[in-house]
Structure 1
Amino acid sequence: VDAYGSPTIQSDLQTFDQQFGLANPTLNIIYPDGRVNWTPTATELGWAQETSLDVEWSHAMAPGATIDLLIAPTSNGDALNLAEQYAVTHHLGNVMSMSFGAPESAIAGVGNNLQLMQAHFIYGLARAQGMTVFASSGDNGATNGASSPNPLFPASDPLVTSVGGTNLFTSNSGAYQSETVW
């Protein structure tokens, strides 16, 4: 599930596959709420890069899998929830990947608790049919851009498996020195 999509996803995936010796996958691009008008703002360009990254590495991790890319027309919570619900309702696989999120305080702080509850309900439906839901933990550490520790949603939902990473820096002896998030 991504927002806005990428006008170059087909060629990006083909280049990626050639680089890594992967066979072409079955890629279905689905617009549950209608086709997206591509107007390349900075936000849309960022999502386009993320979309390509998500599809390419999904294919690398499961080279024989069909990839159903669901595109929400915007990055607001209601649009993303609709795309997620479409994936679950139409049983589009055993895994749903979401490489996006927002600090919980930013969502709940502007009165969007209903979006959080709707998403949690969708993840419960996914679990009931055996679909595993993954979400990124973010690129900004434990604060996710806030002034204090703050979980990123949907990664913080208890029905979602979240993954994040750091670059670890050690001394020549292997002792911890520092790390940065990515």
Structure 2
Amino acid sequence: MPSKKSLNDIRKESSWLDTNFFLSLSLFFCTYAVVGWSIANLANKWAKIITEQNTIINLLIQEDLLPLIIKLSILFGTVFLSLILSSPLVLITIIFEESINSDLKAFIAILFWSIVLVFVFCSFDYFSDLLVITSSNILLRLDLQKFNNNNSQVLFFIFVMASIAFSVGFILFDFVSKGVVA
């Protein structure tokens, strides 16, 4: 007859993936650095397009600051959206609990989510980036919560680390694209 194992024995025998915080941190950091690199490439193109058009933005913002403003707004938007999506329980309960009370609300909810699904499939490259970012956020969030950190500490740590990794991606792209590295 096999002996029963205690919970502590099972935890000791668990995989090294369950106990390795630095693996999830490095995946998180690399994910945000790669996304920062790709966004830096797009931000320079967007800045050129905006400066070519004679808009009020050209009068209000210096030409050198426009790529930085675009990069920072994308950084905050991406981190904010991924933090919202990494803890979607409140968002899902608000949307679905309130929307399926009647037949009309159920029809509108199905129509809305169908339109969202069409946009997801039409711009799958952006959606896949968001999915990878959200997955790395969830993995790091779970590891940080294992250390008994409260939700505000976890959010602050994720925001700081995402900002640093995003900035590293920006800086590396600018460093390589300016021809410093041959």
Structure with greater helix percent: 2
User: Using CA pairs below 8 Å that are at least 6 residues apart, which structure has the higher relative contact order?
Assistant: 2
The structure having more radius of gyration, on CA atoms, is 2
TM-score range relative to shorter protein: under 0.3
Task: Report the TM-score when normalising by structure 1.
Answer: 0.22
